[in-house]
């Protein structure tokens, strides 16, 4: 019997994560959550029922304006967190559309709590939303996204075995 592909084994392990358990990274070098990406955010997501949550502090290297996180860095974290919902639905998928609303500046060095949830599913389409609040509970970022369920061959075409 051949050894299981480590990417597939890691992805499948995310399915068994219950509430409060950490979900495995999408890939070790993922820009959002990969622990092996020296330029990444190293986001760590927890499953919370049918939602996913994460706390994140934007480091100085993600500066946009002085003291403020770059909008693209914030969007990366939001997109990555939404991608963890694929563990909840138990299928691999990709982002088709992401819309991020910046309601307040996201400050460097300050903790933000992110939450993402699936609003509805229509066939292969997953309609999702996310928000980030500052330590005072004020919403700083809100987002909506459309993810498409794809087959594992989608990732094989790109030279990777699988991603959630």
pLDDT, one tens digit per residue, over 23-59 is 999 889 999 999 999 999 999 999 999 999 999 999 9
Q: What does DSSP assign to residue 23?
A: P
Q: What integer is the mean pLDDT of 65-94?
A: 95
Its CATH architecture, for the domain 6-157, is Roll (3.10)
What mean pLDDT, rounded, does the chain reach?
A: 87
Q: Are 113 and 133 in contact (CB under 8 A)?
A: yes
* Of 164, 72, 49, nearest in space to 118 by CA: 49
Strand ranges, E, within the chain: 46-48, 51-57, 93-102, 111-122, 125-133, 139-149
């Amino acid at each position: 019997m051949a050894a299981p592909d480590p990417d597939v084994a890691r992805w499948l392990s995310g399915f068994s994560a219950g509430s409060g358990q950490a979900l495995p990274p999408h890939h070790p070098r993922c820009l959002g959550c990969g622990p092996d990406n020296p330029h990444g955010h190293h986001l760590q997501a927890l499953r919370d029922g049918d939602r996913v949550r994460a706390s994140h502090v934007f480091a100085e290297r993600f500066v946009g304006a002085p003291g403020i996180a770059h909008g693209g860095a914030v969007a990366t974290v939001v997109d990555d967190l939404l991608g963890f919902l694929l563990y909840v639905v138990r299928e691999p998928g990709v982002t088709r559309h992401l819309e991020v609303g910046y309601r307040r500046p996201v400050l460097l060095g300050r903790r933000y709590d992110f939450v993402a949830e699936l609003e509805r599913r229509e066939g292969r389409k997953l309609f999702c939303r996310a928000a980030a609040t500052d330590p005072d509970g004020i919403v700083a970022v809100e987002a909506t996204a459309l993810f498409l369920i794809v087959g594992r061959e989608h990732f094989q075409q790109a030279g990777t075995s699988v991603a959630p």
